[in-house]
Amino acid sequence: MKISKKSETLLSNEHNPIESKEETQLWIEFLQGNDVALAEIYHRYAPKLFNYGRQFTGNITLIQDAIQDTFFKLVDNKRKLNIAQSVKFYLYATFRRILLRSIKKEEKYVGKDYWQENGFQIMVDPDFFVLDGHWTEVQKKLLQNTCNALPARQREIVTLRFFENMEYGEIADLMGLANAKTVRTMLYRGLKTMAEALNKAKKTFLF
């Protein structure tokens, strides 16, 4: 099945410039020492980071500790940060680094092959993924299963691009990939695989 812009639109959320402007102002206020702004950033992003972390591991303690350490680091590094930085990118990058470091320490208990096979399992959760209301539970489950049939890194790229609205360059930096072109190539390979699988189930789910 040919991948088109329509395929991207079905998964993506619209970019909200008003929200971005508001978050930029929050970020500025935080950098100026406003504790209320810091509390608001935590309120907005702690649940998102928790749900992001759930895709990597079912160890709730590891996730919660990583969130706590992320915000500790945010406060500690406040003087080194600048307005141009994206609050979302900073938090996700810091959280991901801390959490994966903790998961790596646990590899001796769960085995080194666990990450490749089970890492980053996408869950179509209403609190995490904002999908069109007319989608049925069967369709959402099919999307979830199709995404999770992809390699772990492609699954994460799909999540960051379509459900977190991150730019290709940000995803490359976040995941330690070569550049935006690498991310784009991996994404479209994943989309092609997904489209072929979904095409087989077109009686219940149409792309």
Q: What is the pLDDT of residues 11-36, one digit of tens each?
A: 444 444 445 668 889 999 999 999 99
Report if residue 106 sits inside a domain: yes
Q: Is 10 exposed, middle or buried (0-12, 13-18, 19+ CB in 10 A)?
A: middle
pTM across the whole model: 0.74
Rounded to an integer, what distance in angstroms lies between the CA atom of residue 153 and that of residue 159? Answer: 10
Report if residue 159 sits inside a domain: yes
Report if residue 187 sits inside a domain: yes
Rounded to an integer, what distance in angstroms lies between the CA atom of residue 46 and that of residue 32? Answer: 21
Report if residue 194 sits inside a domain: yes
Identify the top-confidence range among 85-89, 107-111, 167-171, 199-203. Answer: 167-171
Identify the top-confidence range among 35-49, 108-122, 147-161, 188-202. Answer: 35-49
pLDDT digits (tens, 9 = 90+) for 113-163: 444 555 666 665 554 444 455 556 777 778 788 888 888 889 899 889 988
Range of the domain at 26: 5-200
Report if residue 207 sits inside a domain: no
Running DSSP on this structure, what letter comes out for residue 149? T
Q: Show Cβ contacts of residue 198 under 8 Å, excluding neighbours closer than 6 positions.
A: 1, 142, 143, 146, 205, 207
Report if residue 205 sits inside a domain: no
| Overall domain count for the chain | 1
Report if residue 28 sits inside a domain: yes
Report if residue 124 sits inside a domain: yes
